[in-house]
Amino acid sequence: MALDLHAHLLWNIDDGPASESESIEMIRRLMALGFTGAAPSPHGDSDPTLARARLDELRAALQRADIDFELFDNTENALTPELVADLCAGRGRMLAKTRFFLVELPFHGPLPALGNILERLSQKGLNAIVAHPERSAHFAASPFAAASVVHRFGGLLQLDLGSLVGVYGTTAERTARALLKGGHYDLAASDLHRPSDCRWLAHALDELDALVGPATARRLIDFTPRRIVRGDPPV
């Protein structure tokens, strides 16, 4: 079993699927790979009212098709001053209505203020799940130091499974493998955008198993994601 906490599964809301049928096809493919649920994560610049409505529409579509697949609230927030202000004011778009929020870092440039930002949010009882750190230049430059800053302030690190099989290039793959080998990831997710992405997902899951063994792979794709949607910290 597995639970996917980063996937673009809502149609016509961001750069994800273009139709209800594409959304359903992606979910069927996820289920064939052992996923029993997901937290669809539209980008943070999507309209929150529309995102909520689309999640309800997807739940209804699954029910009509007699597909048993659990869905949770989520957003892939971008790290901006506005996001920090919204989170501090209690207006954050949280994961499964918990204290966790999914956030992607800028892809380019160093982020010297990251520790200060996460510390400020952790003082408010909020925990960042950093999406695909391996794809940011900040982590590529010094993966272990960057990871320890995130963990020091209650943050978690989410591996994009595609990074393991070269979907995002050689630097992201090298950084992902180093972070994985060092035991720095807390969870792994698909970050699917379209049905064709499912072609590499099976290979990526096999690669994860081969690199860390089935027990750790299970922790990353199932055990920890399930704790997170319950609002519990990872073990």
Please report, as ranges, the residues that interact with Fe ion according to CB under 5 A: 76, 191
Instruction: End-to-end CA distance of the chain: give it in Å, rounded.
Output: 18
Cβ 64 to Fe ion shortest distance, Å: 27
Q: How far is CA 228 from CA 41, 114, 225, in A?
A: 15, 22, 5
Cβ 51 to Fe ion shortest distance, Å: 13
Output 8 or 138, the one with its CB closest to Fe ion. 8
Q: For 103, list phi and psi in degrees, rounded to 5.
A: -140, 135
Cβ 215 to Fe ion shortest distance, Å: 27
Output 114 or 131, the one with its CB closest to Fe ion. 131
Cβ 57 to Fe ion shortest distance, Å: 20
Cβ 214 to Fe ion shortest distance, Å: 26
Output 80 or 142, the one with its CB closest to Fe ion. 80
Output 191 or 222, the one with its CB closest to Fe ion. 191
Alpha-helical (H) ranges within the chain are 20-32, 48-64, 81-88, 114-123, 137-141, 143-152, 170-181, 198-212, 214-218, 224-229
The single-letter DSSP state of residue 4 is: E
Dist CA 59 CA 61 (whole Å)? 5
Output 186 or 191, the one with its CB closest to Fe ion. 191
